[in-house]
Chain A
Amino acid sequence: MEIVDILLSASFWAAAIRIASPLIFATLGELICERAGVLNLGIEGIMVAGAFAGWMAVYSGTGLWVGVGVAMLVGMLFGLLHSFLTVPFGLSQHVVGLGVTLLATSSTYYAYRLALPEVTSPPKIEAFQPYEIPFLSDIPLFGPALFAQTPFTYLAFVLVFVVALILYRTPLGLAVRAAGENPAAVAAQGLSVTAIRMGAVIVGSGFMAMGGAFLTMSAFDSFFFEMVNGRGWICIALVVFGSWRPGKALLGAILFAAFDALQIRVQQTGFGAEIPYQIFLMMPYILSIVALVVMSRRAEVPAALMVPFNKGER
């Protein structure tokens, strides 16, 4: 069986982890926002902006990690805009989120056209290279899959751990979760719901932008229009699929990416060549919808998600 051969090959799992990495960053970012009670539909546009900002910074001569930082800062700026409108002013999170996506995408394209007016094909940068972790990368199957990735991928895994630790083991994490469950109780503790929620959206948006930057700085080495291609929306589905928990979201992202890597390989088999390629390209989106339906009965939605908090009214 061809499929079994594929599933047992290290290169398949290496590809799955690579495909999962940008999703992990962006899903974590969205998860932080939603845990604090804010749905951030700016995710798609913020990923586009991050992809461009990081790549452009490196293209103009900064180091790779500085580029990641630049992407994160740009994401945080859009997060500031989003949270300024949705938290203290309590405006519709749907409308503002879509507006931020539109603004981030169009201003990115505008900046691209201004920065590179003459080019027909975008220039390449020296992207992150795989780094084999000594000894660990020698383990059969798991070694090449998990421990021969780029440092940017390792950062994704570290970040899941750090975010889980902060969310569940620190007062800050408790405050963020409480802001999404019962904001009035947070206010009663003398904490500012506005500050917590805005902070969560700003940090979360920074992570989303890093997810975008992964595409141009590690997965590929160049920036294309439409390269994010709905990944942001898929991450929103992954947050639901992971029941708003970092660890489960990580598993969801890897599972999803494995499926994506599998469809690419099946496409190249004799059986796959007879099916229109569009069917394979549809799979990630269909899978996201199926995941949403399956999880809908079990999902533990943060109680105050999308509920604005205004101290004046009780």
Chain B
Amino acid sequence: MRLEPVQNPSLARKVLPPAIALAFTVLIASLLAMIAGANPFSVLGLIIKGAFGSKFAMLETLNRATPLIFTGLAVAVAFRARFWNIGAEAQLYAGALMTVLLGTGFLPWPSLALLPAIAFISILAGAALLLIPALLKTRFGVDEVVTTLLFNFIFLLFISMLLEGPLKDPMSMGWPKSARLLPEARLPRIVEGLRLHWGFALAILSALCIWIIQTRSTLGYEMRAVGLNKEAAAFAGIPVNLVLIKTALLSGGLAALAGFSEVAGLKGSLTLDLSPGFGYTGIIVAMLALLNPLGVVLAALFVAGIFVGADSMSRAADVPTYLADIMLATALLLMVLAIMLTRFRVVRD
């Protein structure tokens, strides 16, 4: 078999493959629920109800989506330029670390000055962390996939070292946990009484900014050109390495905001379980969004919904929560296949 590009894809060709991919994902999840001895319809119903069924569930989903929007944007920006940043997890912790360092009394400023300062320094920290793999790639040609992946392990151990050493809260007994943020360093709630903080608004704003950068700026054009064809971009006079480094700075900074928003908006202190893999899940979010920054918001809500829904489903139906991860991995693999089939036709020899 071989693949042939389809010149003018019909509406059916554009819509059917993704729809079938989604249907297959649901089918596989149902089968797995049946293997676990549960009724598949009630499992799927419980997931949807647990994610969107009540005001509490909705807010929980929005809260869970917030870090995913940031990491999803970080991945989308990088992948668009074919810079494979798999290290959003480490960059998230870099932002969280800065938030704790500055927000526990180091800067005695009022909220309105303190929060932007912390956010800015967090962005710098995440950007700096990704700068190392970016320079290793542009200077020595070292593949960034492996270096960013390995950095996740190194940086988490670094955080663990700090939490058991200088950053350890003396009041926390044996548990490795940082001191709590000052009230001035906490992101307030958007509406008083509703458990949703300004981190969510910042995430939406970031998505809009990235969308504007990608569609309306020279840098956005250059990043797309480098991603489509490096040689052609270089031939056209685009400084490829510089664009890759700018991409990395932007991507690392976005991922770091996830850490800032989680610590300042939700948790109030830094622990080693701050992120249950938000950095890795950002890859799924970005791919489901087809690397579109506005799509990232929708994809993050969808992915967060599955996680939150699966949590409450697991309690009610006694099916392991890992069902959510399987669904997302399946959706990712089937979706990349489906997207390709909207543009290519399989021809038999």
Contact among B142, B158, B329 with A292 in the assembled complex (CB-CB below 8 Å): B142
Proximity bits, B278-293, A CB within 8 Å = 1, else 0? 0010011001000000
B19 contacts the other chain (Cβ, under 8 Å)? no
Stretch at the interface among A107-115, A168-176, A259-267: A107-115
- Chain A residues contacting B328 (CB-CB under 8 Å) are 102
B320 contacts the other chain (Cβ, under 8 Å)? yes
Considering only CB atoms, which chain A residue lies closest to B349 in the complex?
Answer: A311
Using known A-B contacts A99-B336, A114-B320, A311-B349, determine if residue A237 contacts B150 with beta carbons closer than 8 Å.
Answer: yes
Interface residues on A, range: 35 or more
Contact among A91, A234, A279, A288 with B337 in the assembled complex (CB-CB below 8 Å): A91
Stretch at the interface among B44-52, B159-167, B180-188, B234-242: B159-167
- Chain B residues contacting A230 (CB-CB under 8 Å) are 149-150, 153
B154 A286 Cβ-Cβ under 8 A? yes
A297 B140 Cβ-Cβ under 8 A? yes
A41 B145 Cβ-Cβ under 8 A? yes
**A230 to B90, alpha carbons, bound, how many Å?**
14
- Chain B residues contacting A285 (CB-CB under 8 Å) are 150-151, 153-154
Residues 141-176 of B at the A interface (beta carbon under 8 Å) = 141-143, 145-147, 149-151, 153-154, 157-158, 160-161, 164-165
A273 contacts the other chain (Cβ, under 8 Å)? no
29 A/B residue pairs, CB under 8 Å, sorted by A: A81-B333, A89-B3, A95-B283, A95-B336, A96-B333, A96-B336, A98-B280, A102-B284, A103-B330, A106-B326, A107-B322, A194-B1, A230-B150, A233-B146, A233-B149, A237-B150, A276-B161, A276-B164, A278-B161, A278-B164, A279-B161, A282-B153, A282-B157, A285-B151, A285-B153, A289-B146, A293-B136, A297-B140, A310-B3
A: which residues have CB within 8 A of B? 41, 81, 85, 88-92, 94-96, 98-100, 102-103, 105-107, 109-110, 113-114, 194, 229-230, 233-234, 236-237, 240, 276, 278-279, 281-282, 285-286, 288-289, 292-293, 296-297, 310-312
B: which residues have CB within 8 A of A? 1-4, 32, 35-36, 84, 86, 136, 140-143, 145-147, 149-151, 153-154, 157-158, 160-161, 164-165, 280, 283-284, 287, 320, 322-323, 325-326, 328-330, 332-333, 336-337, 340, 347, 349
